[in-house]
Amino acid sequence: MLCYPQKVRYIMCGVVAASSLPACVFEWSVENYGDTTAEVAICMTWVNGYGAKDDKAGGHQNYVFSSNQQNGNGTAFGIEMKHKTDGGSPYSFGISALQPDDSGETYQVTYEANFTANGSGSLLWNQLLTTGHLKNGDSCQASRKGQVIGAAVSCSVQPKPSETVGDICFTLTWDSPEVDFPKSDVIAHRQYTRYFGNDGRACAGLCSTATQDYRDWEKKIDDWQSPILNDSELPDWYKSALFNESYFVADGGTVWLADKEDEIGRFGYLEGHEYRMVNTYDVHFYASWALTLNWPKIASSIQRDYADAKHLMDYTSIADAKHRMYYTSIADAKHRMYYTSIADAKHRMYYTSIADKHPMYYTSTTDAKHPMYYTSTTDAKHPMYSTSIADAIMVEDKRSWPLMMGGTAKKRTTKAACPHDLGDPQGNPWVDINCYNIHDTATWKVSSHYEHRMFRLNTV
């Protein structure tokens, strides 16, 4: 008997919406090399928790769900595990298995909504061993203090001699919609909440979508990678590195925030997990060509994030800062410039000086001299609820910023100099930018890199 899985996590060239989903599919196949029909049960278990002390705090609860697939694949049966966090932020996991339509007794999906996970799990495994199925236990009461609860889904198949049974599909999803930066008074939401909501009850919908669409995901991933993988002139090490190392786009300390007005949102990643700065531009510059070719909209959004920080910052109140993002009227346009498309970028290109023909809808000579339009001391102190590197460049943060090299200090950001980064994820990124504190990066070539990147994006 041979059982083997294939994992599908959809991060696909050029695709934005599905690439943001916290979901993955495990597709199993079973080959029977024996002389008799076999009985095989594959079981997926998950704990309602993440290994922290509050796993035993009590108050966690699991719920059964089912979802008919719109494409006729069948019905997904699963468990949503709602976790009660210390801070009250929504947090849950979902697991499911697919019962194909018209499968008869070939596939049989069963589940257990609740078992005690801080033990041997013997009741669960003995049930599976003796019957080949789980008991379809219903949704449970909230867990008691000291108790860790888990859930399980199982799919049973009976392959005949020399038969392969495939398409045994399990799905894992995780729903943690809120991002709370330690020094921010604004709760941000992850990009996928744009499509699935931010109330912490998205796991069932995510499981359904992943189960329904994963075959299409597989095909698109194959279509994307096949020209490289099938090119005999390319060495194997190169093919491996090209795709395997792209993991960093998703796992490089990545945070992808939703924006009320902009479909792409805000995308940030770290230079390294030990180098805690978002979108460090001097290094992002070298990675940006691959990002531009594969995810041009994300690459453009990062560029715009520097553009926003460069051109403006005319928040009229903290309320504007909280709700902000890409104002949509002429009145807004004359104060700020949040261009929202490549077409906008083509027509103005994030001008970097007053000499560039006053591209910013200046309303007076005074405005032209002071393009930031701060309306209060508070605004000037927090110039940046900015959405991009371009806007950051024309903002000057005059707060003293000590430098490790030489023991001197500088202004945190210098007007007309591209910032080094968009902030510290342990601080208030996209707001308190340029947290690099070793050298004065205003003297570096980062601004030249920015102009080069604009040319690349415009070309693509």
Q: Which tokens in the block code for residue 440?
A: 């004065």
Q: What does the pLDDT look like over 190-199, one tens digit per residue?
A: 999 999 999 9
Residues 6+ apart with CB under 8 A from 388: 301, 302, 303, 304, 305, 306, 307, 308, 309, 310, 338
User: What integer is the mean pLDDT of 269-280?
Assistant: 91
Residue type, 361: Y
Higher-pLDDT residue of 316, 65: 65
Residues in Cβ contact with 320 at an 8 Å cutoff, skipping those fewer than 6 apart: 385
User: What pLDDT digit, counting tens, does each position of 232-250 carry?
Assistant: 999 999 999 988 888 888 8
Q: What is the pLDDT of residues 123-166, one digit of tens each?
A: 899 999 999 999 888 777 899 999 999 999 999 999 999 999 98
Least confident of 14-18, 59-63, 210-214: 14-18
Residue 216 has pLDDT above 70, yes or no: yes
Dihedral, 249, 255, 260, 263 alpha carbons, nearest 10: 0
Closest CA to 198 of 260, 288, 291, 282: 260
- From the list 135, 136, 138, 114, the residue with the least C-alpha distance to 126 is 135
- Which pLDDT score is estimated for 128? 92
The closest of 362, 190, 175, 376 to 268, measured between CA atoms, is 190
Q: Which pLDDT score is estimated for 289?
A: 87
| pLDDT for the residue numbered 390 | 67
- pLDDT score at 70: 63
Look at 285 and 306; give whichever has higher pLDDT.
285
Q: Do residues 385 and 302 lie in contact, with contact meaning Cβ atoms separated by under 8 Å?
A: no
More confidently predicted of 313 and 139 = 139
| Residue range 201-219: mean pLDDT, rounded | 93
The CA-CA-CA angle for residues 72, 73, 79, to 5°, reads: 120
| Alpha-helical regions (H) of 407-445 | none
CA–CA distance, 41 with 94 (Å, rounded to integer): 20
What confidence score (pLDDT) does residue 179 get? 94
In this prediction, residue 316 carries a pLDDT of: 30
Looking at residue 2, what is its pLDDT? 87
pLDDT the model gives residue 188: 93
In this prediction, residue 416 carries a pLDDT of 85
Residue 310: predicted pLDDT = 52
For the beta carbon of residue 11, count every other beta carbon within 10 angstroms. 18
- The yes-or-no verdict on residue 71 having pLDDT over 80 is no
More confident residue, 71 or 100: 100
Of residues 159 and 459, more confidence is placed in 159
Higher local confidence (pLDDT), 315 or 440: 440
Q: What pLDDT was estimated at residue 98? A: 93
Percent of the chain's residues with pLDDT above 70: 80
103 vs 363, residue with greater confidence? 103
What's the mean per-residue pLDDT of the chain?
80
User: Which pLDDT score, from 0 to 100, does residue 120 have?
Assistant: 85
Please tell me the predicted confidence (pLDDT) of residue 7.
Answer: 82
pLDDT of residue 263: 87
Q: What's the rounded Cα separation, in Å, for the pair 40 and 160? A: 11
Distances (CA, A) of 310 to 259, 433, 439: 19, 11, 20
pLDDT at 35 over 60: yes
Q: State pLDDT tens for residues 364-383.
A: 222 322 322 222 222 333 33
